[in-house]
Structure formats: C-alpha cells, structure tokens
Amino acid sequence: MDQSTHTIAAAQLPIYIIGAGGIVHAAHLPAYKLAGYRVQGIVDLVPENAFRTAEKFNIPEVFADVPAMLQQLPANAIIDLAVPASAMISILEQLPMECNVLLQKPMGETLEDAKRILQIAREKKLVAAVNFQLRYSEFIVEAQKMIETGVLGTINHIEINVNVYTPWQLWDFLRTAPRVEILYHSIHYIDLMRYLLGNPTKIYAKTTQHPNMAQMAAVRSNIIMDYGNLMSANILTNHSHHYGRKHQQSYIKMEGTKGAVMIHFGALINYPVGEADTFEYVLLEEDQPPVWKEKKLEKTWFPHAFIGSMEQMMLAALGKIDRPNNTVEDAIFTMACVEAAYKSSDSGGEQLDTLF
C-alpha cells in the first residue's frame, strides 16, 4: 500500500456494500482486504446472497433490504453500490443527503440515465464517484508516470486490442441487456483514453453480435476516438475467440515521439483464470537501435486496482482531496462517449452506392 492507503486504512472509514454479485466476490472484497479497509455491512436484492457473502468475507452486519441498511448508516460511511445499472437510480433516490457513494460502472444504462444520476448526486450533495478502476491498475500508473515525466515524448498513438473468449453467461443480467460490449466492457478503455488524453472531439464505432451468441446484444466492437490528425486512439475488441489460448491476447500499446510502452494485461485471458501482466517499454536513443526492457509488476488489474477507486472516495470523505478524480462529474463524459459510440454504430458509415 502507498502512504495514502495506509492513512485511509488507519482511519477505518466503514464500507457498506449494496450488492453481492460476482464482481464483489472477485474484486471489491479481495481488494478491500488487501488494503486493510473495514467492510461493516452488506445487503443484496436476493437476501441469501448477502448472507453467503458475509459469511465468506467475515462481514459483521447483513441487512434485510436497502432501507434497513440506510437507517443504520453512519455519517462517515462509504456506500459501495455494486448493482446492475438498471437498479442504480432507484437506490440513489433513497440515499440520505451528503453521503459518500462509489458506483460500480456503468453510470446507468444510457446517457439519459447518467444525466439523472448526476442530477441526483448534485441535488443530494453526494460525494459520488464511478468505479472506473482501470485508471488505478499498476501498469497504467507506471505508464502515466512515463507520460507525465516526458520520457516517452509526445504521445501520438494509443491502441487497445482484446481478442479473447469471454463467458458472458457468468452474468445473468447481460443475457437480456440491450447493450453489452461497449457499455459493460469497452467503457473501461474509453474511460482510460479520456483519462490519459482528455475528451475526444468525435467517436466512430461499429459494434456487432456473434452468430454463436445471437440471443445477446453486440459482443464485439471497433471504436475510434478522434483527437485530431496527429493522434491515433483505437479500441478493437472480440470476445468470441473460442479457439484455445494460443492466439488470445489483450494489450495496451502507447507510442510517443521518444519511446513506447507495451502492456499485456492478463485478467481477460482464459477468463476467469487469467494470466500475469507484463509491462515493456523502449526509449529511443540517438544512433542506437531500439532496445525493449521489461518492468516487473507486483499488482494486477483484478483486484488491486479496485483499491484505487475506493481510495479516491475515502480521501474525499476524509477531506484530503476536494473530490475523487473518478467523480460523477467526470464520468458523465465517459458515458457521453459510450452513447456517441452506439449512435455511430447505429447510423453507419458512408454508403458506397451513393458515390456513383
């Protein structure tokens, strides 16, 4: 843990979790345990799920429903709201004024939902953030340091490529969701692009279904984020590569005028087993051939990056920072990019026959 995480753990701000699904088991609770955070209570829309989770992770309090939890909520608590996007607004409307809440991404199912969430946060004066935790993964933190110190020069290309087999059946609510790949997966990469480069001027995208998953919405995407003629920012995802491990891949490549970074992130390979991450970089030297070097990483995206999202919330709750850097005021622009991607996919490209 870094010094701020030690400070937070020592303060023992209590966490109350709404939701006991797979992501809470796989990432939220393991991350909080690693950081030394205190999870005090949990509730789920299916009470049995909350009891099982509390027993597994030694959570002291289990509540029958959300109102019961909110009635006993301490003033300094952090609410970890980890429910499907469709249930988010109704729960936020029940929250007391000026409480602290970390929302599991996405920030609603549509941009209209996101606007309503932002409105609620403003009306209730919430300290509210969205769990775009890829920002806080060790490999992104290291890459960001290299960008900020200038050793990579001017960044002019970021490429994210995911070619894996994702067992979507692990998430029951996605089977009937009208939006899947961009809203629940590539949203991470869209947010990362924004985090590193700011807001794009335009979005070009096409997202498609797969014949072996015809009952589901689109599970593959090609997204271009437009930052002008000197920057290339591309996201390519295919979650239907059901042909063994050999050619599965997931990487983030960043190129600058003085150097480059190649990150292979293993969380998606052979999911949910995963593989180790790797971080390679090259710095150009005059009259010398490029030499790639590897930096050893100790932490992974899942679960370690989830420490960072909660850390931002707790720093804000403790008054150490004005607001989390993943605040809803920032996340609304990630949701706008997601909406633009779907609009671009629906509207299509230039019709060839109109050119003759």
Residues in the chain with pLDDT < 50?
A: none
Residues in the chain: 356
Q: Which of 25, 34, 19, 26 is nearest to 311 (CA)?
A: 34
Half-sphere exposure of 223 (CA within 13 A, CB side): 34
Cite the DSSP H helix spans in the chain. Answer: 3-11, 22-23, 29-35, 47-57, 66-71, 88-92, 111-123, 138-149, 181, 187-197, 305-317, 328-347
Q: CA 328, 97, 66: angle at the middle one, nearest 5?
A: 85
Token code pair at residue 327: 């605040």
Torsion angles phi and psi, residue 306, rounded to 5 = -70, -20
pLDDT at 6: 67
Q: What is the pLDDT of residue 1?
A: 58
Q: Is 62 in contact with 49 (CB distance < 8 Å)?
A: no
Q: Is residue 106 reached through a cis peptide bond, with omega within 30 degrees of 0 on the bond before it? A: yes
> What does each C-alpha distance from 232 to 159, 160, 185, 223, 245 come to in angstroms?
8, 11, 21, 11, 29
180-190 residue pLDDT tens: 999 999 999 99
pLDDT the model gives residue 3: 67
Q: Tell me the HSE value of 88 on the side-chain side, using a 13 A CA sphere.
A: 29
Cβ(198)–Cβ(304) below 8 Å:
no
Residues β-bridged to residue 79? 16, 101
Is the backbone peptide bond immediately before 303 cis, with ω within 30 degrees of 0?
A: yes
Q: Cα dist. 85→44, 130, 180, 348 in Å?
A: 14, 12, 12, 27
Helix (H, G, I), strand (E, B) or coil at 243: coil
Tokens found for residue 292: 């790639």
In order of start, what are the domains of the chain with their CATH numbers?
3-133+304-322 (3.40.50.720), 135-295 (3.30.360.10)
Q: Is the pTM of this model over 0.75?
A: yes
Q: What is the DSSP string of 91-156?
A: HHTTSPTT-EEEEPSSSSSSHHHHHHHHHHHHHTT-EEEE--GGGGSHHHHHHHHHHHHTTT-SEE
pLDDT tens digits for range 22-77:
899 999 999 999 999 999 999 998 999 999 999 999 999 999 999 999 999 999 99
